[in-house]
Amino acid sequence: MNNETIFIDVILPLSLPNLFTYRLPVELNDDIQIGQRAVVPFGRGGKLYSALVKRIHHTPPSEYQAKYVESLLDDQPIVNGKQLKHWDWITDYYIANPGDVFNAALPGALKLASETKILLNSEYDKANIAELNDNEYLIFEALEIREILSLQEISEILHLKNVHKIVKSLIEKRAIIVEEDLKRKYKPKLIPLVRLTEAANIEENLEHIFNDISRAKKQLETLMTFIKLSDRYSEEIKEVKKADLQKAANVSSSIVTELVKKNIFEIYEVAVDRIGKYDKQLIGDKTLNDHQEKALVEIKTEFEKKDVVLLHGVTSSGKTEIYIKLIQEAITKGEQVLYLLPEIALTTQLIVRLQKVFGDVIGVYHSKFNENERVEVWNKVIDYEHTKSSRFQIVMGARSSMFLPFSNLGLIIIDEEHENSFKQFQPAPRYNARDASIVLAKIHSAKVLMGSATPAVETYWNAQEGKYGLVEITARHGGVQMPEILCADVKEATRKKKMKSHFSPLLMELMEEAFKNKEQVILFQNRRGYAPFLLCEECGHVPECKNCDVSLTYHKFPNLLKCHYCGTNKQLPPTCGACGSPRVTLKGFGTEQIEEELALYFPDIKVARMDADTTRTKNAYHRLITDFEDKNIDVLVGTQMVTKGLDFDNVSIVGVLNADNMLNFPDFRAFERSYQLMSQVSGRAGRNKKRGKVLIQTYEPYHPIIRQVIENDYIGMYKDELGQRRKFKYPPFQRLVHFTMKHRDRDKLNEGAREFVLALKAKFGERVLGPDFPVISRIKNQYIKNAMLKVEREISVKKTRELVMEVKNNFEAFSEYKSVKITIDVDPM
């Protein structure tokens, strides 16, 4: 054993600018490795944290006396060198602290701290209890009584200071979970399925059964239908949903119940959206059509010269099938693949589509998973390095999956690269997974394929400039036509009194036709609630939130005025709160109102709504999609959620109810976003043989963006936008760094913001704009001011970071107004 004095620099799971140095007890000298977790005390109370070992050396810190490491949690590193390099880049580029990145990267269950709360895992199989050692069992018992314990309390129970290892082991044995799961707890929707009982499943018994029930016509019919639906005599026996069976056999539930009573059938339940081990037969991939084939060849040619390629293909051109081919090639070479997509597009639809080709080689990583499941994916991805086990060689996930411990990435797919959900808004690091994963790919010498029907202006520019390869597909798969896009002039229709509530005559006509043909309709309105505000016709008063500087939105259910920023509720006042007049009216409209009014005009039509209010539980979203897929819903009314990557084959009409409030949004990306949203939602129409129709309702039918959407003129939009961006010094020509300053006291904020921005101006001069109050200048009783820094591309990221940090550190250390909180957002979206 070596006896030298070793120091380690660790990243604590706290937002601190520096790494911290600890001294290693000599008995751990032979075990220490970079990327392991070390349990270390930090702060005055000596709280214990699991920190990450970043550097191993022999130099004691000069500013303080190094404390000792308590213990090491891992035998093997859980984070590798490539990740640490990636973290460094994120820390620098996004002007964040190492602990911020550490926190964003690791699942909660890998970041134990004294205050971490622990509870029993309700799914733990008590039959395994013998595998717990004495201390583990004690904790288990204590949790049965107390339900929730903090690490601190556990350490008191065991009379042990350091209990991280025990807790870690209990997590790995799946006996406990960390509390973050509490918030995420969701009940999966269970659907009943039918199968033969064990006895009935034996061939000769089955023959007897047929004889026995031969007189009970309906039962016989049901059994035969079951045999057919389940494909009993084929290689791959299928699961049969109870509802499907009843429908196919045209019988009621009571007949099935009879068969259950006779011990022929049994009912079992499965979660609709389980994303478990895929044990069904693989169906292989599809043969590419000519356009796809050509695109694939071009992508590969581009990859010979370039690391990043943009695949610009219209909606439904079959981009996913191309990804599948490239993924196949990468995994055959023994490489890992990361398939990044926006959270909302991570539907069972898409996952199952890939699972059918790749089976359980695919791991899925997203927020719906609890912390333990995330840790399992994490560990399986590490395993790849050591065992080359193919399980989870491919990972599909939302933005945080780029933090998984890949050791040998060959390919990163970024689907719907224009989506702003790749950007993390809160907390720091405010990274964009699209851009950060390009850096990750570089570290692995991997290739990146970005796909979109409506690429971000910045991305398309990078392709035009030759930084990325560019491959285009302009035809939909199977010769399906692009939808026909029509426009309704709401101003005109209103003047002629032809509007039926919010529906133009043309929209009414199109919907009627769709319903007659048993086709489905999607209506998009990007406001939730019933009406965005209440207006006094007498004095013009609009009720506002008492905590925020916004008007309150009326929600018919549960009949309240709500603030969309802080959640405050208020009763609907019968008269104006200012002048007392009863002449108060609801103004504008949201999804809730559309849903309601639709039911008035089409009483026989089933309408459902998909917005933040109806999808609060994780599963509700999937339920809506399944119901729409199964055609239990005729019209889906929704916000942005209905625009994303869904693939329904029976939607013939898509209506955009109000294009104007998107177009008028005060943001330099408003036009680009409007174009993307309208094109994406249009892409939901007519994905099979029949040509779909899209109707855009607007007050400005000749708005250039509306015309470009109608003509599917992405390039036109891109050129116009690029002109504006160049003129007004926005990305891609300049880099933006956005500062938000907040304080409860308006005067303090004003003073602090002035001082901070002056200090920035001293470094950056004219490049700094602000401070200004944003449109919404107060949220949750915090006043807000913004400032913007616009820097030329040529100025180094490092220099910018240095100067910004200097100003910020100075302000936070010495300013009279240092209680003003400052957040930094690089490349804001």
Interface contacts to ligand ADP, rule CB under 6 A = 286-289, 292, 313, 315-321, 477, 647
For the chain, what is the radius of gyration of the CA atoms? Answer: 30
User: 515 vs 565, which CB is nearer to Zn ion?
Assistant: 565
Question: Which residue number, 464 or 777, has a Cβ lying nearer to Zn ion?
Answer: 777
E strand or H helix that includes residue 118: strand 117-120
Query: Residue 292 touches which of Zn ion, ligand ADP, none (CB < 5 to 8 A by kind)?
Result: ligand ADP
346 in Cβ contact with 396 (< 8 Å)? yes
Our finding on whether 299 is near Zn ion (CB under 5 A) is no
* Smallest distance from ligand ADP to CB 467, Å: 23
579 binds Zn ion (CB under 5 A): yes
Nearer to ligand ADP, 321 or 720 (CB): 321
Q: CA 31 to CA 165: how far, in whole Å?
A: 15
For residue 804, which phi and psi values (nearest 5 degrees)?
-60, -45
Spell out the residues 6+ positions from residue 350 whose beta carbon is closer than 8 angstroms to its own: 320, 341, 396, 645
Instruction: Name the residue nearer to ligand ADP (CB basis): 240 or 482.
Output: 482
Q: 565 or 602: whose CB is closer to Zn ion?
A: 565
Which of 283, 207, 171 is closest to 238 using CA atoms? 283
Instruction: Identify residue 275 by its one-letter amino acid code.
Output: I
Taking CB within 5 to 8 Å according to partner kind, which of ligand ADP, Zn ion, none is near residue 317? ligand ADP
How many Å apart are CA 28 and CA 38, to the nearest integer? Answer: 11
Smallest distance from the beta carbon of 708 to ligand ADP, in angstroms? 20
In 3-state terms, what secondary structure has residue 824? strand
3-state secondary structure of 746: helix
Size of the site for Zn ion (CB under 5 A): 15
Residue 776 interacts with Zn ion (CB under 5 A): yes or no: no
Closest CA to 366 of 337, 388, 395, 328: 395
What's the min distance (Å) between Cβ of 621 and ligand ADP? 19
- Picked from Zn ion, ligand ADP, none, the partner binding residue 288 (CB below 5 to 8 A depending on kind) is ligand ADP
Q: Provide, rounded to whole angstroms, the least separation between the CB of residue 586 and Zn ion.
A: 14
Give the residue ranges of DSSP H helices in 31-128: 81-93, 98-105
Cα Dmax for the chain: 94
Q: Which of residues 557-576 bind Zn ion (CB under 5 A)?
A: 563, 565-566, 568, 576
Q: Which is nearer to Zn ion, 548 or 656 (CB)?
A: 548
Place of tokens 């936070």: 812
Tokens of 98: 């190492």
Nearer to Zn ion, 469 or 590 (CB): 590
If the CB atoms of residues 316 and 712 are measured against ligand ADP, the closer one turns out to be 316
List binders of Zn ion among 59-78 (CB under 5 A): none
Q: Supply the minimum distance, in Å, between the C-beta of residue 782 and Zn ion.
A: 11
Give the nearest distance from C-beta 641 to Zn ion in angstroms. 23
Residue 415's contacts (CB-CB under 8 Å, 6 or more residues apart) are 319, 320, 323, 339, 340, 341, 342, 345, 451, 452, 645
In terms of CB distance, is 576 or 678 closer to Zn ion? 576
Residue 360 or 647: the one with the smaller Cβ distance to ligand ADP is 647
Using the minimum distance from each CB to ligand ADP, give the nearer residue, 358 or 403: 358
* Nearest position to ligand ADP, beta carbon: 318
Binder of residue 529, out of Zn ion, ligand ADP, none (CB less than 5 to 8 A by kind): none
* Binding at 275: pick from Zn ion, ligand ADP, none (beta carbon under 5-8 Å per type): none
Q: State the pairing for strand pair 778-779/821-826.
A: unpaired
Q: How far is the CB of 318 from ligand ADP (least distance, A)?
A: 3
Per the structure block, which two tokens stand in for 592?
């809730």
Could you tell which of ligand ADP, Zn ion, none binds residue 578, using a CB distance below 5 to 8 A set by kind? Answer: Zn ion
Query: 768 has which bridge partners?
Result: 789
Tokens at 601, concatenated:
């005009």
State the binding string over 623-662 for Zn ion (x if CB under 5 A, else -).
----------------------------------------
State the distance between the two ends of the chain, measured CA to CA, in whole angstroms. 53
We find the least distance from the C-beta atom of residue 774 to Zn ion, in angstroms, to be 15
Nearest distance from C-beta of residue 412 to ligand ADP, angstroms: 17
Exposure class string for 2-13: b at 16+ Cβ within 10 A, else e:
eeeebbbbbbbb
Listed in order, strand segments (DSSP E) in 463-619 are 469-473, 484-489, 520-524, 533-536, 553-555, 560-562, 569-571, 584-587, 607-610
As a whole number of angstroms, the distance between CA 281 and CA 793 comes to 51
In the list ligand ADP, Zn ion, none, the entry touching 800 (Cβ below 5 to 8 angstroms by class) is none
Q: CB 317 → ligand ADP: shortest distance, Å?
A: 4
Residue that the structure tokens 């200012």 belong to: 578
Residue 712 beta carbon to ligand ADP: minimum distance, rounded to whole angstroms: 14
Which runs of consecutive H residues, i.e. helices, occur in 333-445?
A: 348-358, 371-387, 433-444
Q: In the stretch 528-547, what mask flags binding to Zn ion with x, by CB under 5 A? A: --------x-xx-x---x-x
Candidates 548, 642, 663, 706; binder of Zn ion (CB under 5 A) is 548
Name the minimum Å distance from CB 373 to Zn ion.
34
Q: Considering the complex, state which of residue 111 and residue 477 has its C-beta at the smaller distance from ligand ADP.
A: 477
Residues at the contact surface with Zn ion, assessed by CB under 5 A: 536, 538-539, 541, 545, 547-548, 563, 565-566, 568, 576, 578-579, 581
